[in-house]
Amino acid sequence: KNEVEQSPQNLTAQEGEFITINCSYSVGISALHWLQQHPGGGIVSLFMLSSGKKKHGRLIATINIQEKHSSLHITASHPRDSAVYICAVPLYNTDKLIFGTGTRLQVFP
Amino acid sequence: EAQVTQNPRYLITVTGKKLTVTCSQNMNHEYMSWYRQDPGLGLRQIYYSMNVEVTDKGDVPEGYKVSRKEKRNFPLILESPSPNQTSLYFCASSLLAPPVAYEQYFGPGTRLTVT
């Protein structure tokens, strides 16, 4: 069983739709990262959170430490949101990050 | 501008020909790491470094070497590349190592093809 699992693997949406991407993990963590990988390949950090909720523009990330689950929401989705979204968690008491396999989102006009 | 740079961005090479992919960061970060990304497998850690002269193996270190002689640079060396090392490679850095929660900065990626 993967230590970090994302769902869905692929997601298509019409512009304006509300998007939810889920990440579940089985290890104890100090924080969770959400990353965005553009079609060109570059990876940028969107959020790092250890509790509650964070918001940046149309993006909202939530985490429930007890349930070992995080969600990334995109409100009023736009074609420029099309990307692969990756969650990552540090393994507690190690120097490593482990990554989900990503959710590929396509938003059509 | 805070950034992680990698070179080259694209490389096609032949089996057995030694190559080096450079990585440099300008943020005085202590932690640097190399990952490879393959379809369906996500990002997997190759090697990481906690600071100058401190490196350690990640999950898939076979066939790779690294060095950290200066804080800003963390080159990835393939002494004898093989086709199974064809992949997309990312260098990343953060102020401190996980599990301390700091933002990760990624380089633009190097697409390597070994024939």
Residue A72, CA atoms < 13 Å, CB-side half-sphere: 31
d(CA B33, CA B65): 12
Q: What is the pLDDT of residues B53-86, one digit of tens each?
A: 999 999 999 999 999 999 999 999 999 999 999 9
CB contact under 8 Å between B98 and A101, yes or no, is no
What are the backbone dihedrals phi and psi of residue A89, each rounded to the nearest 5 degrees, phi first? -130, 145
Q: How many angstroms away from the CA of B73 is the closest CA of chain A?
A: 19
CB B60 within 8 A of CB B43: no
Q: What is the pLDDT of residues A51-93, one digit of tens each?
A: 899 999 999 999 998 899 999 999 999 999 999 999 999 877 7
Q: Which residues of A touch B109 (CB under 8 A)?
A: 41-43
Q: What integer pLDDT is reported at residue A28 of this predicted model? A: 72
Q: What is the dihedral sign for C-alpha A92, A98, A104, A107?
A: positive
d(CA A90, CA A30): 7
CB B114 within 8 A of CB A54: no
Whole-Å CA distances, B27 to A76, B66, B92, B105? 34, 20, 12, 10
Strand order in the sheet with B4-7: B4-7, B19-25, B76-78, B65-66
CB A46 within 8 A of CB A36: yes
